[in-house]
Amino acid sequence: MADECTGVANKEQLVVCIRWVDNDLEVHEDLIGLHFLESIKSDEIVKVLMDILLQMNISLKNCRGQCYDGASNMSGRKSGVATQLENIESRALYMHCYGHSLTLACQDAIKQNKLMRDTLDDTREITKLIKKSPPCSSVWGDAKDAADDTETKARLGSVNSSMKTFDYFFGCNIGVQLLGYADNLAKALQATKRSAMDGQELAKMTVTTLKSLRNDEAFESLWKQIQSRRENVDVAEPTLPRKRRVPVRYEEGQAPPEFIDSQQDFSKVFIAKSCLLCTPYNNILSRYGTSTGLLMHHEAQPILKDEERKDQDETGTAGDQHPALISSESSF
């Protein structure tokens, strides 16, 4: 497992970890270290990885899996790091990091939802302004008064107005509710002994849970919580969006246009869409349901069964470690 990052000195570094199993099929993960990169080109990264394996006296022939992010220099089909190492050892199968796949799935979904996208943009702006505010400004209003330039005061006033709108408050609550499940999934995927198939099952369970929120009972409960919280803060009343007719080219039939008459019904429609978009079924499972994970799982089964048979037949210690055992627990 490897990932490149930029340090505080603005220099590229490669973080390298090794995931391995012992004779008892116990999974271990060890951090090898941070290694300086002269460039982030795939050839340079492969050179560093091969040098690390040589220094540790580890043969690439014993490798059964690679785990990187989806950057082109790491996963490119023609000259990426994964491809170059697979050309040396064909059994070193590449798998996209599950945690990174989950992040991309959530990003893809939020981009499709304007309210969630605007809420996160406002939150990011608030974070930047808090970092720039004077240390003595513990209250938002004090930070606005203590700002010494017109631009900062204008930005503070803008986000302060956004924070008092119901749309921002509503988006924050929906984000905590829905993205909280994605956060729990991300934490579960970080377990050392988590296998590739376990990760896919956890993703399916998360999607099933989110789909169960798309019903009237779940909506009523969430709406009451949001309204109860709104009463304790300085947030505006919910308002309906402006009524707009569908363009003629999109109209179907002769029935007159219908408009939502209550904010609760409008929010209900939005929550139903959010439950489908913020952690979408297609995004998560399409990124997790890779053939590589299934192939690793199928390769591991004969080895695991053989080890179980040995444990039943032998009274002594297990035999030497088979190099393909690494595939029994694929990396994330």
pLDDT in tens, 8-58: 778 888 999 999 888 888 888 999 988 888 888 999 999 999 999 999 999
For residue range 286-300, what is the model confidence (pLDDT) as tens digits?
Answer: 655 554 555 555 555
Measured distance CA(188)–CA(202) in Å, rounded:
8
Q: Provide the mean pLDDT of the chain.
A: 75
219-240 average pLDDT score: 82
Residue type, 81: V
Could you tell me if 186 and 97 are in contact, meaning their C-beta atoms sit under 8 angstroms apart?
no
pLDDT exceeds cutoff 60 at 116: yes
| Residue 18: closest CA among 70, 47, 59 | 59
Cα–Cα dist 154/147, whole Å:
10
| Burial classification of residue 332, based on how many CB atoms lie within 10 Å of its CB (0-12 exposed, 13-18 middle, 19 or more buried) | buried
Quote the pLDDT of residue 91.
Answer: 87
pLDDT in tens, 200-225: 888 888 888 887 877 778 777 888 88
**Per-domain residue ranges for the chain?**
2-96, 101-241+261-288
Assess whether pLDDT exceeds 50 at residue 76.
Answer: yes
Q: At residue 273, what are phi and psi to the nearest 5 degrees?
A: -70, -40
pTM over 0.85: no
Nearest residue to 260 via CA among 275, 244, 237? 244
Residue 255, pLDDT > 70, answer no
- The arithmetic mean of pLDDT across residues 159-186, rounded, is 85
Comparison of pLDDT for 312 and 297, the residue scoring more: 312
